[in-house]
């Protein structure tokens, strides 16, 4: 057996602590798989005094992660600090400068600076592993980067944020509102005190940016992603979805269209018997459609210290085995500059919930505005209160429209016209229907 | 860019033809991913005259696959002949002898001779890829061999044979019998003229043997697998399963128990809302339970020329990239000799369908025999014909028992005693209930 591989872990949160613990507990088994012992020789974290339940005897402590990355004690740098800039970025860039392989769970950093990191990693001839950055312990990066080398990917759809999927699953199951559900999720530790990053769709967008680059061989383009969060969802929408044969998920979707690459994160209705629709709770799942293999589905724990540590350790073992795959599957110089398909050209069906003021001509006006944009309606459902046959109510009534495939620009034009007509109250709820 | 990687393809059936076609059609994209061009330089098949729709201009033709494996034109040998012995084995062994990396879809060969192949491949310092041998295009080998290096796997369960899953799904959906369904599957090309290998569970057993070695770091032990096929299944069993909240699948299961490694292939009832239970038709799916990551599910096309070719090409690209992972994840010398857990110690719940002769004391005798073996019954259902309150019928009646967890030896003893009592007609149907 050759020399041990010396690992420096920057960031000792739940994931970092789990990485250190598992590498020690399973040292023999991991050495057998890696072909050499793997030893944590250095760590870095802000608070040295905190009890993390780790035996760090003989492990060098660096206050500065970049210092750890420069240290002679370290062959591989594991960055688990997080954030697109600052200490995390400095740590990764220093490691590459010193020709040390990097393993990171940092989706924000790679979504923002992945291309320049890939370029400098190639110049330094060091691998960068980031399995842990997307879908926690699910090997979706490995599958896209290595397992589909003979394929052209056509679409990737994924449940990429466990917090959102937990909230949607519970709202559906317990028929409670978004705010109550979010507050529960925060109490249970499934949501942050400031939940914006998760429920606003931004976390999923960072992950989607990485999947897009791997799927289509393009430069990461996180600013090209259309992002909506889940805060507008109501129990009524979830009930209607159920009745119509759908389930509602926060999806990240990336597809090639004739107009370019369409990247989007938003609530979507999926046929209830599709594999992704059935994924509940904090589980993550990704479906990859590719021309040679067909459709693959991968699902598993998308978060949590141990599940994420599992992905980090797999990347470290790949490095110990000498695996050196280009960061985004092809050399950085070959990554294409992505042409963005504008959201207006998105094609698909829509669920639309309108709060319609119940007065003569409202229904006719709405139908006319849809027809003007050549949008065909598959169904119209009116709900929300008991019908009153004596006279129209002064209270608005919920009307749900399901459209056949149309495009987003036409739909937006129709909704603008309907709003301008003054027949509706508040903002229309629009949920895209994703094809199986 | 470096020298092209020269590939020899032995076996030009649907998979081989697809490999040759895709490598040519996507040469540029694959070269970008692999870091060098990949070119098919030699092929081997029995019938040279057959039109396979392939452009084989400039490609060397070898009548003997071992000759191809020896040829100087070849850097990597792709074996797609099949079978545990004969030409396939000679081809793979010759390739390794000549220090050429091997890619194979041959589960029978690896299930029988995987350990000796792993040993000689290590001595020759060449990799052996076999992603295509299990679950077609689904990257389950890569996941077990590389993606879970920090985990101890506790159980793998899988739908590993598309033919069986197609038959079971159709029987359930169309409420038709096994024989009729098999005959349809044969007409559609989903089942062979001699279906024994598939419907007898042997194909699934070969695949399971490979999953076991990867999951537990043990020598392949295909003879240690308990194998039952699907031929005994009836529409009545499927209806009862539905009523009881289960679905019936042919499963390969491998687990670590206190008594050793339990490997089994048989019909199993799964809770109908579990991920594996929902997998329909020719799709394959594998669930891996591991201590660090939790449960992963991978699903996708388990057969077909293109899906399998996708896996073959991914292995070739890994070889082009210089990846050299031990065949079963750890060096062959470290593979443990597996201790077999005898099937008698298997623990779990059971579905039992008895054809009971309707006479006084039958029910009491059956209940007594179960109690003697300390088997608790969760439910008893009597079905099959209209009740006759005037007098017992001379025709047997179907009685279904669902047991709480017990062990196989106790169950077999109870069933033997029930048979000896003479209250039942024919062979009891026994279907194991697999935990989520």
Contact B314 A131 (CB under 8 A): no
Annotated catalytic residue A334: no
Q: pLDDT at position B385, please?
A: 57
Residue B412 pLDDT > 90: yes
User: Does the domain formed by B347-433 have CATH 3.30.70.1350?
Assistant: no
The minimal CB distance from A149 to the residues B33, B299, B326 is found for: B33
The answer, yes or no, to whether residue A333 has pLDDT greater than 70, is: yes
Q: What is the pLDDT of residue A392?
A: 56
CA-nearest residue to B25 within chain A is: A150
- CB contact set of B329 (below 8 Å; sequence gap of 6+): A33, B144, B145, B146, B149, B214, B217
Chain A residue whose CA is closest to B332: A32
**Looking at domain B5-133, does it have CATH number 3.30.413.10?**
no
Tell me: the pLDDT tens digits for B90-107? Answer: 999 999 999 999 999 999
Residue B388 has pLDDT above 90, yes or no: no
Look at B297 and A299 and tell me if their CB atoms are within 8 Å: yes
Contact B131 A147 (CB under 8 A): yes
| Residues of B whose CB is below 8 A from A309 | 150, 292
The shortest CB-CB distance from B297 to any of A151, A300, A331 is to: A300
For the segment B59-81, the average pLDDT, to the nearest whole number, is 96
Q: What is the pLDDT of residue B393?
A: 61
Asked whether the predicted pLDDT for residue B1 surpasses 70, the reply is no
Distant-in-sequence, close-in-space partners of B26: CB < 8 Å, separation ≥ 6: A150, A152
B47 — pLDDT class (breaks 50, 70, 90): confident
The predicted-structure confidence for A150-176, as pLDDT tens digits, reads as follows 999 999 999 999 999 999 999 999 999
Calpha distance B354→B233 (Å, rounded): 13
**Using an 8 Å Cβ cutoff, are A307 and A301 in contact?**
yes
CB-nearest partner of B26 from A150, A298, A322:
A150
Task: Please list the residue range(s) of chain B that carry CATH number 3.30.360.10.
Answer: 140-301
Nearest to A293 among B148, B278, B310 (CB): B310
Task: Read off the pLDDT of residues B368-380 as tens digits, 9 standing for 90 and up.
Answer: 999 999 999 999 9
**CATH 3.40.50.300 describes domain A140-301:** no
Confidence of residue A391 (pLDDT cuts 50, 70, 90): low
Residue B2 DSSP code: -
For residue B295, the chain A residues in CB contact (below 8 A) are 300-301
pLDDT for the residue A382: 85
B384 has pLDDT over 80: no
Region(s) of chain B under CATH 3.30.70.260: 347-433
Q: What is the mean pLDDT of residues B378-401?
A: 74
Question: B292 and A299: CB-CB below 8 Å?
Answer: no
Q: How confident is the model at residue A190 (pLDDT cuts 50, 70, 90)?
A: confident
Flag if B293 and A278 touch (Cβ within 8 Å). no
- Band (B395; pLDDT cuts 50, 70, 90): confident
pLDDT of residue A2: 81
Q: Return the higher-pLDDT residue of A390 and A295.
A: A295
Catalytic residue among B6, B107, B142, B207: B207
Length of chain B: 436
The enclosing H or E element of B158 equals strand B153-159
The segment(s) of chain A belonging to CATH 3.40.50.720 are: 5-133
Q: Which two tokens stand for residue B187?
A: 């007409």
A296–B298 C-beta distance less than 8 A: yes
**Which residues in chain A have their CB less than 8 angstroms from residue B14's CB?**
none
Q: In 3D, which of A277, A283, A323 has the Cα closest to residue A136?
A: A283
Residue A122: how many other CB atoms lie within 10 Å: 18
* pLDDT of B302 over the 70 cut: yes
Q: Which of A6, A107, A142, A207 is catalytic?
A: A207
Residues of chain A in contact with residue B147, where contact means CB-CB under 8 angstroms, are 131, 139, 142, 311, 314
Is the CB of A324 less than 8 angstroms away from the CB of B325?
no
ipTM, 2 dp: 0.95
Best residue in B25, B36, B292, B333 to probe A by mutation, most A CBs within 10 Å? B292
| C-alpha torsion sign, points B352, B357, B362, B365 | negative
pLDDT of residue B227: 98
Which residues from B are below 8 Å from A33, CB to CB?
A: 149, 326, 329-330
Q: What angle do CA A224, A230, A231 make, to 5 degrees?
A: 120
List all residues 6 or more positions away from B332 whose beta carbon is below 8 Å from its beta carbon.
Answer: B115, B118, B119, B122, B326
Residue A388 pLDDT greater than 80, yes or no: no
Q: Do B294 and A307 touch (CB under 8 A)?
A: yes
Who among A33, A290, A296 is closest to B138 (CB)? A296
- Best A9, A29, A150 member to test B by mutation, with max B CBs in 10 Å, is A150
| pLDDT beyond 70 at B16 | yes
Tell if the CB–CB gap between B26 and A152 is shorter than 8 Å: yes
Token pair in block for residue B332: 């062959």
Residue A48 reports pLDDT greater than 90:
no
Give me the mean pLDDT over the A107-119 stretch.
98
Stronger pLDDT, B9 or A386, i.e. the higher one: B9
In Å, how far is A246's CA from the nearest CA of chain B?
A: 16
Residue A3 has pLDDT above 60, yes or no: yes
Q: What is the pLDDT of residue A360?
A: 82
Q: For residues A90-102, give the mean pLDDT.
A: 98
Lowest-pLDDT choice from A260-269, B96-105, B186-195, B219-228: B186-195
Residues in chain A, total: 436
- At B234, is the secondary structure helix, strand, or coil? coil
Q: Looking at the predicted structure, is the pLDDT value of residue A230 above 80?
A: yes
Average pLDDT value for chain A: 95
pLDDT digits (tens, 9 = 90+) for B305-340: 999 999 999 999 999 999 999 999 999 999 999 999
Considering only CA atoms, which of B49, B62, B75 is closest in space to residue B320? B75
CA B346 – CA B264 distance, rounded (Å): 10
Average pLDDT over residues B392-410: 89
The answer to whether the CB atoms of B300 and A300 lie below 8 A apart is no
- CATH architecture assignment, domain A344-433: 2-Layer Sandwich (3.30)
- Band the pLDDT of A359: cuts 50, 70, 90: confident
For residue B371, the model assigns a pLDDT of 96
Q: What is the mean pLDDT of chain B?
A: 95
Contact B142 A137 (CB under 8 A): no
Report how far residue A157's alpha carbon sits from residue A162's, in angstroms, rounded to the nearest whole number: 15
Give the closest of B292, B295, B313 to A309, CB-based: B292
Residue A393's pLDDT is 61
Picking from A162, A292, A332, A436 by the largest number of B CB atoms within 10 A of its own CB, the best residue to mutate is A292
Decide if pLDDT at A384 tops 60. Answer: no
Shortest distance, CA B104 to any CA of chain A (angstroms):
15
How near does any CA of chain B get to the CA of A287, in Å?
9
């Amino acid at each position: 057996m050759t020399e041990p591989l010396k690992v420096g872990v920057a960031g000792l949160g739940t994931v970092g602590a789990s990485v250190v613990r598992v590498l020690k507990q399973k040292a023999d088994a991991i050495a057998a798989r890696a072909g050499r012992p793997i030893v944590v020789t250095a760590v870095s974290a802000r608070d040295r005094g905190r009890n993390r339940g780790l035996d760090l005897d003989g492990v060098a402590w660096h206050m500065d992660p970049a210092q750890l990355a420069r240290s002679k004690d370290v062959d591989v740098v594991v960055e688990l600090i997080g954030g697109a800039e600052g200490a995390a970025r400095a740590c990764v860039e220093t490691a590459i400068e010193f020709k040390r392989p990097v393993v990171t769970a940092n989706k924000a950093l790679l979504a923002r600076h992945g291309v320049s990191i890939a370029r400098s990693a190639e110049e330094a001839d060091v691998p960068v592993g980031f399995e842990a950055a997307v879908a926690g312990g699910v090997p979706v990066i490995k599958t896209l980067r290595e397992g589909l080398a003979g394929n052209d990917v056509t679409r990737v759809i994924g449940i990429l944020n466990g917090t959102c999927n937990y909230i949607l699953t519970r709202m559906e199951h317990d028929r409670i509102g978004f705010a109550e559900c979010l507050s529960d999720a925060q109490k249970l530790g499934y949501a942050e005190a400031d939940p914006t990053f998760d429920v606003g769709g931004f976390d999923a967008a960072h992950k989607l940016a990485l999947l897009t680059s791997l799927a289509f061989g393009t430069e990461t383009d996180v600013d090209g992603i259309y992002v909506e969060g889940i805060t507008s969802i109501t129990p009524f929408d979830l009930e209607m979805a159920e009745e119509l044969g759908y389930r509602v998920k926060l999806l990240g979707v990336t597809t090639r269209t004739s107009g370019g690459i369409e990247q989007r994160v938003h609530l979507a209705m999926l046929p209830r018997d599709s594999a992704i629709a059935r994924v509940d709770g904090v589980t993550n799942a990704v479906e990859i459609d590719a021309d040679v293999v067909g459709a693959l589905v991968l699902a598993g724990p998308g978060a949590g210290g141990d599940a994420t540590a599992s992905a980090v350790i797999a990347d470290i073992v790949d490095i110990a085995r000498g695996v050196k795959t280009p960061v985004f599957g092809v050399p950085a110089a070959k990554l294409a500059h992505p042409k963005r398909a504008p959201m207006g050209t998105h094609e698909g069906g829509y669920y639309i919930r309108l709060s319609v003021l119940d007065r003569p001509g409202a229904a006719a006006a709405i139908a006319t505005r849809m027809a003007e944009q050549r949008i065909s309606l598959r169904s119209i459902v009116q709900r929300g209160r008991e019908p009153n046959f004596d006279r129209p109510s002064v209270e608005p009534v919920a009307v749900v429209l399901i459209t056949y495939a149309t495009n987003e620009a036409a739909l937006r034009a129709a909704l603008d016209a309907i709003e301008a007509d003054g027949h509706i109250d508040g903002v229309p709820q629009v949920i895209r229907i994703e094809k199986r």
